[in-house]
Amino acid sequence: MQLASSTSASATATAPGSGRRLPMPDGQPLCLHDWPLPQARGGVLIVHGLGEHAGRHERLARWFNAHGYAARSYDQRGHGRTPGPRGALQHADDLLADLSVVHADYARTLGVAPLLLGHSMGGLVALRAVLDERIMPRALVLSSPALRSHASPGLRRLAATLARLAPNLRLRNGLELERLSHDPQVAATYRGDPLCHDRVSPRLADFIFRAGASCIADAARLEVPSLLLVAGDDALVDAGGSRDFSAAAARTRQLTTRYFAALYHELFNEAEPGRSQVLLQLEDWLERLAA
């Protein structure tokens, strides 16, 4: 990670699928993105990863629309069109508290608890919130969740120290964009997207490291039907964390795990035929869930 200055997203811009701002209890507004569907069979709430934003998941949201689900996502604090410094948190559990508010708001809109889908850091946030019983979604989908990092023990210790001394110092997140997908256009589009950023604060990094380890330790507490999608050739998170979580959660009989040995981190943005293989597994699991 390298030291960098902070930036802020525009507080006034809008995007397709985006609309209202949902205020959090501390006054921080979050930008919501909705893909509604009349007479939907249910809804899915999508939680994005580090450095990106909800709009990058529009194709996935449209896939859910085509399969009978309304979809919502939101720009987490420090990301996308949500205003504020990039990659920063006021408190270590901000992302968990935010998800609980967004989930409750969407459940009121739908009249029923939605499915919850978290990608990468968003998968970590979703899983930790479920294990803490902050939320109770209808079911949970985890895509390449950040349960373990490739960061060295020394870097993790440094993040913990800086989280106390300079918690919102902006550092480069070091993500290897070329390893997002085998489709080179994915990385090129990411780089050209003004709503993506490469910043992470020590407080956020320390949250990711600690929450990942605690999720694995608490795997036996999983009480929600869950699908874990693991990219075997993942350079952005350590897939070993997902394997260990899957093994520890097996006794709950709530978890279905699908491994894709040759695929990169962004399973839903992979080159074909990989993306279609992932979506077929998701579709099959959703059908069995509804049976």
- Whether 238 is in a domain gets the answer yes
- Whether 156 is in a domain gets the answer no
As for how many domains the chain has, the answer is 1
Among 79, 103, 119, 265, the one annotated catalytic: 265
Contact at 8 Å (CB) between 149 and 182?
no
- Domain hosting residue 232, numbered range: 18-150+210-290
What pLDDT is stored for residue 18 in this prediction?
64
Give 99-148 pLDDT, tens digit per residue.
999 999 999 999 999 999 999 999 999 999 999 999 999 999 999 999 99
- Whether 104 is in a domain gets the answer yes
- Whether 35 is in a domain gets the answer yes
Q: Is position 238 annotated as part of the catalytic site?
A: no
Buried b / exposed e over 158-184, threshold 16 CB at 10 Å, is: bbeebbeeebbbbbebebebebbbbbe
- Whether 6 is in a domain gets the answer no
- Whether 98 is in a domain gets the answer yes
Give 240-288 pLDDT, tens digit per residue.
999 999 999 999 999 999 999 999 999 999 999 999 999 999 999 999 9
- Whether 200 is in a domain gets the answer no
- Whether 9 is in a domain gets the answer no
Among 73, 120, 143, 149, the one annotated catalytic: 120
CB-based burial label for 133 (10 Å; 0-12, 13-18, 19+): exposed
What pLDDT is stored for residue 10 in this prediction?
31
Give the domain CATH number at 95. Answer: 3.40.50.1820
Q: Is position 265 annotated as part of the catalytic site?
A: yes
Enter the tokens of residue 256: 């279905």
Residue written as token pair 């609309």: 19
Distance from C-alpha of 82 to C-alpha of 159, rounded to nearest angstrom: 24
CA-nearest of 159, 146, 119 to 211 is 146
Residue 14 clears pLDDT 80, i.e. is over it:
no
